[in-house]
Amino acid sequence: MGGIQSRKKGSKIIWIASGVLAGFLPPLQTAINGELRVATGSLLGAAFISFFVGTILLLVLLLITQRRIHIPLYDAQKNRIPVWTYMGGIFGVFIVTGNIILLPVLGSVLTTMVFLLG
């Protein structure tokens, strides 16, 4: 029984470390996107470039891991997937663009904290 507990504890540490790693990325992304806004002179252009680069990375990862791009219309139980479940990217536009807008006013860390608080 002790072996199972130590394995569970060990795997939690990996997940916690992964969460901490992922947690430091939003302020970094905010700072980078803020610099991109200054460099391009465009709020929406900076947001677009940010999403475009992310899309290219996801495309490459999908092709490497799954060798295809498939957007399913039906779930595993053959039920039609509701259209609204595909709309999460719309929130991403507001999140990234909001970060770019707030960065010059609040700074990277406070902008991230405000978003997390929300």
Give the N- to C-terminal CA distance of the chain in Å, as an integer.
42
pLDDT attached to residue 35: 94
Q: What are the tens digits of pLDDT across the range 53-91?
A: 999 999 999 999 999 998 899 999 999 999 999 999 899
pLDDT in tens, 61-71: 999 999 999 88
* Residues whose CB is less than 8 angstroms from the CB of residue 26 and which lie 6 or more positions away in sequence, other chains included: 99, 112, 115, 116
Ordered DSSP codes for 52-113: HHHHHHHHHHHHHHTSS----SB-TTSPBPPGGGGTHHHHHHHHHHHHHHHHHHH-HHHHHH
Q: Name which residue leads in pLDDT, 9 or 76.
A: 76
Provide the pLDDT for residue 2: 54
Range from 14-18, 37-41, 98-102 that averages highest in pLDDT: 37-41
**From CA 49, how far away is CA 44, in angstroms rounded?**
9
